Amino acid sequence: MSAPSEGTDIMVSYLIRNAQILDGSVPQDIHIADGVIKAIGTGLDVETDIDIDAHGLVVLPGLVDLHTHLREPGREDAETVLTGTQAAARGGFTAVHAMANTFPVADTAGVVEQVWRLGQASGYCDVQPVGAVTVGLEGKQLAELGAMHESAANVRVFSDDGKCVDDAVIMRRALEYVKAFDGVVAQHAQEPRLTEGAQMNEGQVSGELGLGGWPAVAEEAIIARDVLLAAHVGSRLHVCHVSTAGSVEIIRWAKAKGWDVTAEVTPHHLLLTDELVRSYDPVYKVNPPLRTAADVLALRKALADGTIDAVATDHAPHPAEDKDCEWAVAAMGMVGLETALSVVQQTMVDTGLLKWEGVADRMSHRPARIGRLSGHGRPVSVGEPANLVLFDPAYRGTVNPDSFATRSRNSPYRGLDLPGRVHATFLRGVATVLAGELAERGGLA
C-alpha cells in the first residue's frame, strides 16, 4: 500500500458534520482545508471534497505516543516503520516516538536520520526517533547525544528502553548533557541485579506458579534514585511505563518538590493483572510485568489526578515464533497502538475517572509537550494544524488482532470486548484513516 499523501502534493478538504468536540455539549461542524482547521461552527455551508457525518463521534487532538517500538531497522519481520505507522494511524495517533532498541541501535545521527526519513516517507504518522543514551544500549559509554540532537531527526528524547541505565554516573552525565538543548532522558526503571531471571511480577501468583519474580522494588529503587539525580543536576527526567503503586508515590513526592519529572503508564498496566499469567500464555509476558489489582487501581488514580502525565503504548510487536512458545523463553512485550484508546475509554472514561478533555491531555497535549513536538498536542481550534481523531465511543466490538495493521499479532486483548473505535484520523489535514480503514490519498478516489 502506498502512502496516503506522497509528500505534500495532496490537498483535500473535508467537512466534518455534527461532531462532539471533546466534552462540548453542542455538536459542531469542522471545516478542514490546506492542512489546517479553517472553521468550526454549527451549520457550516462550504464546498469540500469529502463530507463526513460525525453524529455521535468525539473529536480529539491527534494522539501522541511517547513509547513505540517500530523494529526497523533490523527486525522487519516484526514491524516496519510503514506498518507501525499504519497501526498508529488506525489507533488515532498522529505522532509516535520510535524507541532506539533496533538493529543497529539508534545511537548515532545516521541511524536516527534513517528512521526519521522512513517516517517521512510513510505519510501515515509523524515518527520522532528516540536516541539511545549509551552506545549499543550497553550502559557503559554515552552515545552521541549532541550529534543526534543536531541531526535532521532533531532528537530530544533519549532512552536505552528495554534496558535500564543502571550506572548512576552515566545517568547523571546523560541528564547533564541533555539539559543543554532541553532534552529529556526517558528511563526504563529496572534494577538489573534484582531482576535476574525474572519472569513475572514477584508476589503471590509468582510464588504459586514457581516463576522467577520481578519485584516492585526493582522499579521503585531506580525511580527514587533518578528523581534525586534529576533534581540534583536540575534536568528533565521521564519515567517509562510506571507499573507499581509504590512508583506512583515516589513520582508524586518528586512532583510535590517541584522537580521536572514526568511519567507514563501503558494501557495494559491500566487493565490487566498478573492473575492472567496463570494461563501460562506468553501473550501476557511483558516488561515491566503485569502487576496486581491494587497496582492497577493506583495507576488509574495517578493518571486521573495527573501524577502520571501520559498514556504511552509501549507497542512491542513480536513475530509468532518469538511469542508462541514456552513462557520461559518467550519474548517480552505486546502490541498496543490499535487498542490504546479503547482500553483508555474502558478503564478511565467509562469508569468516570477522566473526561474526554482529560484523555486529550494525557494522550496528546502532555506527551507532545514532554517530547517538545510543537506541531502536535494542539487545541482543536481554528488555525491549528488539522491533526485530529474522530472516535466512536458507542461502538462495541470484539478485538481481532488478525485485522490489525501492525505486522505482529501479539495482542493480549484477542477475543475481548472493548468499547470504542477510531472512525477517522487526520494528519495535517489529510485523512490517514476513514470509516475505520486506512485511507490512501486522503480518501480521494
**With respect to Zn ion, which residue has the nearer C-beta, 127 or 164?**
164
Q: What is the DSSP string of 293-348?
A: HHHHHHHHHHHHHTSS-EE---B----HHHHSS-GGGSPP-B--TTTHHHHHIIII
User: Residue 107 or 161: which CB sits closer to Zn ion?
Assistant: 161
378 by DSSP, 3-state: which? coil
**Which helix (H) or strand (E) covers residue 113, if one does?**
helix 109-122
Q: Which range touches Zn ion (CB under 5 A), out of 18-26, 56-64, 182-190, 404-412?
A: 182-190
Q: Which residues contact 167 (CB under 8 A, 6 or more apart)?
A: 139, 140
Please say which residue, 99 or 430, places its beta carbon nearer to Zn ion: 99
Q: Is 107 a catalytic residue?
A: no
320-323 LR contacts (CB < 8 Å, sep 24+): 320/409, 322/78, 323/282, 323/283, 323/285, 323/410
Name the minimum Å distance from CB 417 to Zn ion. Answer: 28
- Give the nearest residue (CB) to Zn ion: 188
Identity of the residue numbered 160: D
Binding to Zn ion by residue 188, rule CB under 5 A? yes
Site string for Zn ion, 268-307 (x = CB under 5 A): ----------------------------------------
Comparison of 29 and 107: residue with beta carbon closer to Zn ion: 107
Dist. CA 134–CA 141, nearest whole Å: 5
CB of 291 to Zn ion, least distance (A): 15
Q: How far is the CB of 161 from Zn ion (least distance, A)?
A: 4
In the stretch 20-49, what mask flags binding to Zn ion with x, by CB under 5 A? ------------------------------
Judged by CB under 5 A, the stretch of 70-78, 167-175, 185-193, 363-371 that binds Zn ion is 185-193
Q: One symbol per residue from 354 to 373: x for binding Zn ion (CB under 5 A), - otherwise; what is it?
A: --------------------
Catalytic residue among 65, 161, 314, 392: 314
Query: Which span sits near Zn ion by CB under 5 A: 75-83, 181-189, 193-201, 267-275?
Result: 181-189
Q: What is the dihedral of CA 392, 394, 400, 404, to 10 degrees?
A: 0
- Stretch of 71-79, 102-110, 158-166, 194-202 contacting Zn ion, by CB under 5 A: 158-166
Stretches 157-165, 345-353, 368-376, 425-433: which one binds Zn ion (CB under 5 A)? Answer: 157-165
Q: How far is the CB of 323 from Zn ion (least distance, A)?
A: 17
Report the C-alpha gap between 331 and 102 in whole angstroms.
15
Nearer to Zn ion, 33 or 286 (CB): 286
Per-residue x/- track, 48-77, Zn ion (CB under 5 A): ------------------------------
CB of 97 to Zn ion, least distance (A): 12
Rounded to 10°, the helix 168-179/216-233 angle is 40
- What does the block give as the cell for 131? 536516541
CA dist., res. 74 & res. 80, Å (int): 9
73: closest CA among 108, 107, 111?
Answer: 111
- Read off φ and ψ for residue 342, nearest 5 degrees: -65, -40
Take residue 221 and report the three cell numbers written for it. 529503587
Which of 161, 309 has the CB closer to Zn ion?
Answer: 161
| Binding residue for Zn ion, selected from 29, 161, 202, 440, defined by CB under 5 A | 161
Q: Which stretch binds Zn ion (CB under 5 A): 145-153, 184-192, 319-327, 330-338?
A: 184-192
Instruction: Give 161 or 274: the residue with its C-beta nearer to Zn ion.
Output: 161
Q: How far is CA 246 from the centre of its chain?
A: 22
Smallest gap from Cβ 322 to Zn ion, in A, equals 16
Task: Give least dist CB 312 to Zn ion, A.
Answer: 10
Q: Measured between alpha carbons, how far apart are the two ends of the chain, in Å?
A: 14
Q: How many residues lie near Zn ion (CB under 5 A)? A: 2
Instruction: Quote the CA–CA distance of 199 and 213 in Å, as a whole number.
Output: 6
Compute the least distance from the CB of residue 164 to Zn ion, in Å.
9
Nearest residue (CB) to Zn ion, 96 versus 354: 96
By the 10 Å C-beta count (0-12 exposed, 13-18 middle, 19+ buried), 56 is classed as middle
For residues 329 and 362, give the distance between their C-alpha atoms in angstroms, rounded to a whole number: 34
State which of positions 218-257 bind Zn ion (CB under 5 A): none
By C-alpha distance, which of 445, 387, 440, 444 is closest to 4?
440
Q: Which residues, including other chains, have CB under 8 Å from residue 422's CB and lie 6 or more apart?
A: 90, 91, 92, 341, 389, 390, 391, 392, 433, 436
Q: Which residues are catalytic?
A: 314
Which residues lie near Zn ion (CB under 5 A)?
A: 161, 188
